[in-house]
Amino acid sequence: MIKPLKIAIAGLGTVGAGVVKLLAGNAELIAARCGRPVVITAVSARDRRKDRGVSLEGVDWYDDAATMAERADCDVVVELIGGADGMARRVVDAALARGRHVVTANKALLAHAGAELAAVAEGRGCVLAYEAAVAGGIPAIKVLREGLAGNRIQRVYGILNGTCNYILTQMRRTGRPFGDVLADAQRLGYAEADPSFDIDGVDAAHKLAILAALAFGTKADIAGVHVEGIRHIGATDIQFATELGYRIKLLGIARMTETGLEQRVHPCMVPLETPIAHVEDVFNAVVVEGDFVGRVVSEGRGAGAGPTASAVVADLMDISRGRASMTFAVPASRLVDAPAAPIDGHRGAYYIRLMVRDRPGVIADVTAALRDQKVSLESMIQRGRHPDAMVPVVLTTHETEEAAMRRALQRIEALDTVLEAPRLIRIEAL
């Protein structure tokens, strides 16, 4: 008799309920492709009475998810609670201790404890799978770990947060300021009531740390990610970006450099002729550059019940077929600690926006500060001829070192004709 793959699901929120729905809706197709059915034997969440819009008939309910993870009658524990510690961590620890495979969508947990958990999983002969943790429905993990396994990865980057991409897209389309568009996104359910995790870049940093670990064989290092969010992006910057031939995108970028592992999450000016410039709304994109394959671009929905469930179920189907990959592509014992490349050493071109008092001599003072730090200008846009009014001045530079750029900006900010803190956005060569 064919044995089904028995799974227990911890967490029945957006993703958990989505997984239950997908497994029910596509049960036949999944069984045909795996050679056996995938069956939910147990579930756990906080509120037993909540209507989740899915049938849980015949499925055992646990109030305590960690107890469920220890249940004998289960091959895989699916952790869909979330958070780097607390119950999610207890569930994963309990499952691995009992020799159960684990599938999770939990980027915070993987970014903070990925190497440690990978070692435990491998020691117990278990799979720790996390396709849903990065870029939702895009099979980004599979692309890096399997599809491009033979390549030396030169760079991995992407639009890793749909909420930020939605806000930046709407700001450009409507010309409205950040705060108004964020409020809309919250009304539409694209942003949380507390949006800081998304808009301050933390969520994207978690995903980048996981991608970097896979791409470069390093221990996931969330502390080594330089993170800036999108709160300071003004409608003015979005307009100037278009005028200069760019789109502003929140990117996560990882690269191995001579000084260490570069991991950056921040708004970027992205040239309009690159594919990623046209990834709009809530969509995500992941770009991998390998030495033999060249550039591979994947685009899709990075969040939501359906796309995320699609990724969770793909992991379950791999386990069901007996296909096991090492958590971060190499044995956990071979993952290395790479030093973080300091952002001060970053080299690139910059977009600078100043708000200045429209007076003779302002531009001369600004360009002198840049010249003294050997920052060479590529272009300048100066608007308005209203004596003494506040007007924007936009500068773009040639490639320069970040530390020099910062020193020049400090001097510029101290000028009494400069009325606001200068805005800096890195121009990314993609």
Supply the DSSP symbol for 145: I
d(CA 424, CA 409): 9
Stretch that binds ligand NAP, among 31-39, 101-109, 145-153, 321-329 (CB under 6 A): 101-109
87, 212, 261, 316: residue in contact with ligand NAP (rule CB under 6 A): 87
**Residue 55: enclosing H or E segment and its boundaries?**
none
Site for ligand NAP in 164-183 (CB under 6 A): none
User: Which residues 6+ apart lie within 8 Å of 97 measured at CB?
Assistant: 70, 120, 124
Nearer to ligand NAP, 10 or 153 (CB): 10
d(CA 275, CA 273): 7
Q: How far is the CB of 424 from ligand NAP (least distance, A)?
A: 30
30, 132, 332, 362: residue in contact with ligand NAP (rule CB under 6 A): 132
Q: How far is the CB of 386 from ligand NAP (least distance, A)?
A: 47
State the binding string over 308-347 for ligand NAP (x if CB under 6 A, else -): x---------------------------------------
**Is residue 202 involved in binding ligand NAP (CB under 6 A)?**
no
Q: How far is the CB of 61 from ligand NAP (least distance, A)?
A: 11
Q: Is 207 part of the annotated catalytic residue set? A: yes
CB 287 within 8 A of CB 297: yes
Nearer to ligand NAP, 134 or 213 (CB): 134
Q: How far is the CB of 186 from ligand NAP (least distance, A)?
A: 15
Nearer to ligand NAP, 85 or 413 (CB): 85
7, 30, 31, 65: residue in contact with ligand NAP (rule CB under 6 A): 65
**Is residue 137 involved in binding ligand NAP (CB under 6 A)?**
no
Amino acid code (one letter) for 11: G
State the binding string over 286-305 for ligand NAP (x if CB under 6 A, else -): -----------------xx-
Nearer to ligand NAP, 11 or 290 (CB): 11
Q: Measured at CB, which residue is nearest to ligand NAP?
A: 13
Q: How far is the CB of 178 from ligand NAP (least distance, A)?
A: 22
Site for ligand NAP in 348-407 (CB under 6 A): none
**Is residue 220 involved in binding ligand NAP (CB under 6 A)?**
no
Site for ligand NAP in 43-62 (CB under 6 A): 44-47, 50
7, 9, 19, 81: residue in contact with ligand NAP (rule CB under 6 A): 81
CA distances from 203 to 88, 126, 207, 310, 342 (A): 17, 27, 7, 20, 21
**Is residue 194 involved in binding ligand NAP (CB under 6 A)?**
no
CB 41 within 8 A of CB 331: no
Q: Say which residue the tokens 């049960």 belong to.
A: 27
Q: How far is the CB of 87 from ligand NAP (least distance, A)?
A: 3
What are the φ/ψ torsions at residue 336 (nearest 5 degrees)? -110, 160
User: Which residues 6+ apart lie within 8 Å of 162 measured at CB?
Assistant: 136, 190, 281, 282, 283, 284, 301, 302, 303
31, 38, 74, 105: residue in contact with ligand NAP (rule CB under 6 A): 105
Q: How far is the CB of 360 from ligand NAP (least distance, A)?
A: 54
Q: What share of the chain is helix, strand, coil (3-state, %, to 5)?
A: 40, 25, 35
d(CA 309, CA 14): 9
User: Which residues 6+ apart lie within 8 Å of 105 measured at CB?
Assistant: 15, 79, 80, 82, 130, 132, 133, 308, 311, 312
Q: How far is the CB of 299 from ligand NAP (least distance, A)?
A: 16
CB 391 within 8 A of CB 240: no
Nearer to ligand NAP, 87 or 127 (CB): 87
d(CA 149, CA 328): 11
d(CA 150, CA 131): 20
What are the φ/ψ torsions at residue 347 (nearest 5 degrees)? -115, 130
d(CA 308, CA 422): 39
Q: Which of 207, 219, 249, 374 is catalytic?
A: 207
3-state secondary structure at position 182:
helix
5, 9, 16, 112: residue in contact with ligand NAP (rule CB under 6 A): 16
What are the φ/ψ torsions at residue 100 (nearest 5 degrees)? -95, 145
Interface with ligand NAP by CB under 6 A: which residues? 10-16, 44-47, 50, 65, 80-82, 87, 105-107, 132, 136, 303-304, 308
Active site residues: 207
